[in-house]
Amino acid sequence: MPTGVHIRDARRQLFDAAERVLLRDGPSALTSRSVTTEADCAKGVLHRHFADFDEFLAELVHERIIRVDDQAGSLRAAAGTGTVAGNLAAALTELLDPIALAMVSLVFFRDEVRTRLRRSGLPHGVPVLAEARGMFAAYLTEERALGRIAADADVENVALSLIGAGHLLFAGRRGGPPPAGEVDQLVATVIADVIQRRLL
């Protein structure tokens, strides 16, 4: 596409292109050229919107974090409905989609992106996964207040276990998420010590 042609919502077009490259070829393939080629636009378009490529990638990860924050609100609103295990399994499956997993790889792969995200005030831990831990901890706090998990439940550590075990279960799979039964079993195992048995 010629440089002079106006692109409607160029940021979105570039982010979508970067996600496609990331999913198809991995974090090592992400360059400003690969992204703009995938987006079918001139390389200068990216640099008109972002100071440099690392800023672009940091913003790409921030977009995913915003989605986690949105999901956190929906999960907290589900407290007291359905089952705790069912709510957690559904949230884990939604959270750990291929793009989120690829974002985690990107953050590990590029030190400068990690540094920029830290400077922006994100919590310690791996961006995206750290926010996901907060999402699960907030939900479990609501369920504890409702009496659906034990009053002495350590929600922070339960949330950490869900994220760690969930990431291992979902990562590296081709062709979709693990079978629902595997996710259900993982969640049931992680929360076994804190769930009120009558609600499991």
Helix (H) or strand (E) holding 14: helix 10-25
Of the CA atoms within 13 Å of residue 47, those in its CB half-sphere come to 8
- Do 40 and 1 meet the contact criterion of CB atoms below 8 Å apart? yes
- Under the banding of pLDDT at 50, 70 and 90, the label for residue 24 is very high
Based on the fold, state whether residues 119 and 41 are members of the same structural domain: no
Q: Are residues 79 and 150 in the same domain?
A: yes
The domain boundary residue, chosen from 33, 49, 65: 49
- Of 29, 49, 69, the one marking the end of a domain is 49
Does position 1 have pLDDT exceeding 50, yes or no? no
CA distance 69 to 128: 10
Same domain, 16 and 107: no
**In this structure, are 95 and 176 located in the same domain?**
yes
**What one-character-per-residue DSSP string does 23-60 give?**
HHH-GGG--HHHHHHHHTS-HHHHHHHSSSHHHHHHHH
Say whether both 44 and 58 belong to one domain.
no
Please report, for the domain that includes residue 156, its CATH number.
1.10.357.10
- pLDDT single digits (tens) 73-123: 999 999 999 999 999 999 999 999 999 999 998 988 888 888 888 887 776
The pTM for the full model equals 0.87
Among 12, 53, 7, 62, residue whose Cα is nearest residue 33: 53
Q: Into how many domains does the chain fold?
A: 2
67 pLDDT band, cuts 50/70/90, is: very high
Residues facing residue 195 across a β-bridge? 149
Q: In terms of domains, do 41 and 77 share one?
A: no
Residue 26 sits in the same domain as residue 91: no
Given pLDDT bands bounded at 50, 70 and 90, which one contains residue 198?
very low
Residue 4: helix, strand or coil by DSSP? coil
| CATH (domain of 43) | 1.10.10.60
Domain range spanning residue 3?
A: 1-49
Shared domain for 74 and 15, answered yes or no, is: no
* 114 shares a domain with 73: yes
Does residue 75 share a domain with residue 29? Answer: no
Question: Same domain for 58 and 155?
Answer: yes
Q: Within this chain, do residues 155 and 187 fall inside the same structural domain, yes or no?
A: yes
Tokens (6 digits) for 140: 């479990």
